[in-house]
Structure 1
Amino acid sequence: MASNELGAPSPRQLPGHIAAALAGAGGGADSAGRPWAGRSLAGDDAKIHNFENDDGTASEAYLAAVAALRKGTGDEAGVVASLATARVFIPIVARLAEEAEGAHGLNADKQADMALVTLKAADGRTAMPAFTSTAALAAWHPEARPVAVYAARAALSAVAEGAELLVLDPGSGFTFVVRRPAVWALAQQHGWVPSYRDEELAEEMGRAAAGFPAVRNLELAPGRGVAALAADGTMAAGGGAGPELQVVLYLEDGLDAAGVQDLIAGLQSEWSRNVLFGERVDSIEVKLRRAER
């Protein structure tokens, strides 16, 4: 039977505990708790970072996790776990403020503030770039200033900026996308289990589907967008930005096209009201199969 991909994920309201973590951790601030906004290009603000003895190279744990992912001996959960203690670099760029009117009606000097960089993902959502090394950041944007933060702080800043994705090393040999549920888990310094391996989530979704007689069974699997394409053309089984979760529905015979669409819409409505689903699922696609008699 056919595969039915649902639309682009809609923005989700932050759960209370995540909003509290954001408020208590300083929100869009650096590792010292200083706000990103309003920075100048002079004095202490021009320092690259505050991490002592940091040579600007990527975390060894992150590199090892990515290598395992690309070899097929690791997974994307391992990559996200490696970020729990990793330092990353957030790019900030100069943003020219409005000219102020000085004495005698003359224009005063323009002020340069520093601003976080955000991106637009293919599905329209806001994404925040982060870099595992200063070299990767410089190759992407030579004029951006790297500010070192722990990845958990970067995740909090992403939430504060309304970004649902954290994109690691865009434009490099391998770009890894941390999706919204993993961003939230990282921001709270909690472990993360991909939705397609989440047994508790499968049970919740199965209970919701039990209210639809045409659904005989339900299975969760990795979506087509889980895989990521490296610059050398090889694929890795994780880090992609597309549909993360594939929901396989085993249906009774007898439903026409309209009935199938109504069924999927009803299921989506039921799932969307579930708190666990809202927190742990980023994007889904539905695959339909005929139930065996």
Structure 2
Amino acid sequence: MDQRPPAEQRPPAPRQLPGHIAAALAGSGGATDSAGQPWAGRSLAGEDAKIHNFEDDDGTADAGYLAAVDALRSAAGDEAAVVASLATARVFVPIVARLAEESDHGTHADPLHGDKQADMALVTLKAPDGRTALPVFTSATALEAWHPQARPVAVYAARAALSAVAEGAELLVLDPGSEYTFVVRRPAVWALAQQQEWRPSYADPELARAMAEATAGYPPVRRVELEPGGGVASSTAGGAVVPGGGPGPELRVVLYLTDGLDAAGVQAVVSGLNAEWSRNAVFAERVDSIEVKLLRAAE
């Protein structure tokens, strides 16, 4: 799913959440549904079987999200508008029964045998690059088609983003296995979790200034430009290209270098700038993954 560049061309995955994100997570109740109930360890019986607080929900996709995706697919909108539509959208998070069976050696998980005890477990996916992703669905029908045995838990997308952060997931994957899948990358997941506006890194002037300022100590760099990376685009099941919703790399950094640098000189510039950028708080929070393109500066 993710065809990111080598590690030296992307920011390292942060080990600790920024303080304001950790505070938002701690104050929100963490990985719970819209009723405030944790998914992990929930029984399938009695009051614990209640799955959401959307009593009149008909299970269809949010109209605002569908409109934003239609605009993106027709190139009339952008992926920032799709993420913005999720701020008030209800989505479904899949949870599955995790059966336990008593034995002489204690309780152990056994997916092949029924038991009177069953807990609900939140489903996560592992992306090809090793990152954890939380699948969410815009409709109950889409979730059922993906996993007929999964139970749909209706939550606001912001709550799903918070739960993704709590689970260590860096991606939200909307409607996997459907006709069109939209991936919300890590910076957008964080923004959604905090209920803040998200601006793509390739269209972020503050980020552009910070990255340009980092080149001050590198005379061979004449200019820096930011543009959408090769991983921004996605595609439908039928092969139609959509200008957004891809897993990354979402940022292409174009470095215009003076002529005459040998391979070692170029490598020193790129490695040094990667180190400078990774120490910048704006870069660490707003950039998911990058690719670097080198061009000769016009004299």
TM-score past 0.5 threshold: yes
Match of 1:230 in 2: 236
Structure 1 counterpart of 2:181, from 170, 175, 196: 175
Q: Which runs of 4+ in 1 moved over 4 A?
A: none
Which TM-score applies when normalising by structure 1?
Answer: 0.94
Alignment of 1:86 with 2:89, yes or no, is yes
Matches within 5 A, 1:96-175: 96-97=99-100, 99=102, 101=104, 111-175=117-181
Q: Which residue of 1 aligns with 2:46?
A: 43
Q: State the distance in 2 between where 1:154 and 1:198 align.
A: 25
SS in 2 for 1:183: helix
1:14 aligns with 2:17: yes
Unaligned runs of 5+ in 2: 106-114
The aligned runs of 1:197-236 (5 Å cut-off) are 197-236=203-242
Name the SS for the 2:207 alignment partner. helix
Aligned match of 2:253 in 247, 258, 267?
247
Describe the superposition over 1:116-155 as per-residue Cα deviations: whole angstroms up to 9, x where unpaired: 0010112110000000000000000000000010000000
| Contact kept? 1:227, 1:239, Cα under 8 Å | yes
Alignment root-mean-square deviation, CA: 1.7
Q: Distance in 2 between matches of 1:135 and 1:288?
A: 46
Letter in 2 for 1:256: D
Q: Deviations over 1:83-138 (max 9, x none)?
A: 00000000000112352559xxxxxx563111000101121100000000000000
- How far is 1:213 from its partner? 0.7
C-alpha distance in 2 between matches for 1:96 and 1:254: 65
Between 209-218 and 66-75, the greater mean CA deviation after superposition:
209-218
Task: Answer yes or no: is the 8 Å Cα contact 1:6–1:284 preserved in 2.
Answer: no
Amino acid at match of 2:66: L
Alignment partner, residue 33 of structure 1: 36
1:264 is matched with 270
TM-score, normalised to structure 2, is 0.92
Gaps of 5+ in 1: 103-108
Q: Which residue of 1 aligns with 2:108?
A: none
**Counterpart residue type for residue 54 of structure 2:** F
